[in-house]
Copies of this chain bind each other. A is one copy, B any other.
Amino acid sequence: MPGSKFELTVLGSNSAIPTANRHPSAHLLNVNERFYLIDCGEGTQIQLRKYGFKFQRIGHIFISHLHGDHFFGLIGLITTMNLLGREQPLTIHAHKELQELITYQLKVSKSWIDFKIHYNHLPTDSQIILDDGKITVQTVPLSHRIPCCGFVFREKIHHRKLLKQVIENYNIPVVLLKGIKQGDDYIAKSGKLIPNEELTESPPKSRSFAYITDTKYKEEIIPLIKEVDLLYHESTFTEEHKDRAKQTFHCTAKEAGTIAQMANVNKLLLGHYSVRYKTLDPLLLEAKSMFETSELSIEGQTYSV
């Protein structure tokens, strides 16, 4: 729907080592007031509160991989949801060891969760892992030290939009409208065929957001993220530390820009910064050298898809 929300709020922009101003990875996707949390580093529940989000409205949590800066905040968030009386179920999309770990953590603290948690174990290939009627989520296999998964969030293709006045003029029965929204033509009482284009207008373009972290430079992902509206791509290092990037299976900002350019995306959002960069401008400049519409992710800011 035109004007409906499809936006990302950055809750954590740093890589492994947090600072007082830059937290580990966490991102909140708002699709028309349905909330999806992507990664959940330490302190995510506090960041959600700081920026005024009601985290009981999060229905799905996606954990890219099991390095601590991407999930150490999960157990705290879940237990707080429980303490606040959550009843609706929660789905956690993550590698399977996370389920065992959460279960073990609860056992050690003799705690329990009263609401239902569904665990959806991530596949090793690219699959649609969620279709909730509003969006689909497709996995993107990444290359990191441990199994790691990117995600592409796409609005579901909308039905065509009825041209109200034309529908009324032809006096079309209500029972046929669903089919017309899906592309049917209409045969009038006179026997004349009214083509669908005359009865409807095209739906707005389906928007899409790709979340790619952590990974070494990997061109194989390009077909999976082609022409997304917003690409979040990790840019842990600058080219000056390219050796370190290779060694740790991360990317430089220039490499993120290259991927954005090759995938012909609409906008690139950088993030997952190494603690060594006190100012982030060098990362932005590098990305822009390859792809002009690059932007830094800044905690607390919201980016429209």
Q: A-side interface residues toward B, CB under 8 Å?
A: 16-20, 23-24, 42-43, 45-46, 49-50, 66-68, 72-73, 75-76, 79-80, 83-84, 97-98, 100-101, 104-105, 108-111, 145-146
Contacts and interface: CB of A to CB of B under 8 A. Distances in A.
Contact of A146 (B76, B110, B146): B110
Copies in the complex: 2
A109 B17 contact: no
A17 B55 CA distance: 13
A75 B76 contact: no
Contacts of A104: 101, 104
B68 A75 contact: yes
Given A42-B42, A67-B111, A68-B105, 15 more contacts: A16-B80, A17-B83, A18-B49, A18-B76, A20-B46, A23-B46, A42-B45, A42-B46, A42-B72, A43-B46, A72-B72, A72-B75, A98-B108, A101-B104, A110-B146
Contacts of A66: 108-110
Contacts of A146: 109-110
A47 B83 CA distance: 23
Nearest to A65: B109
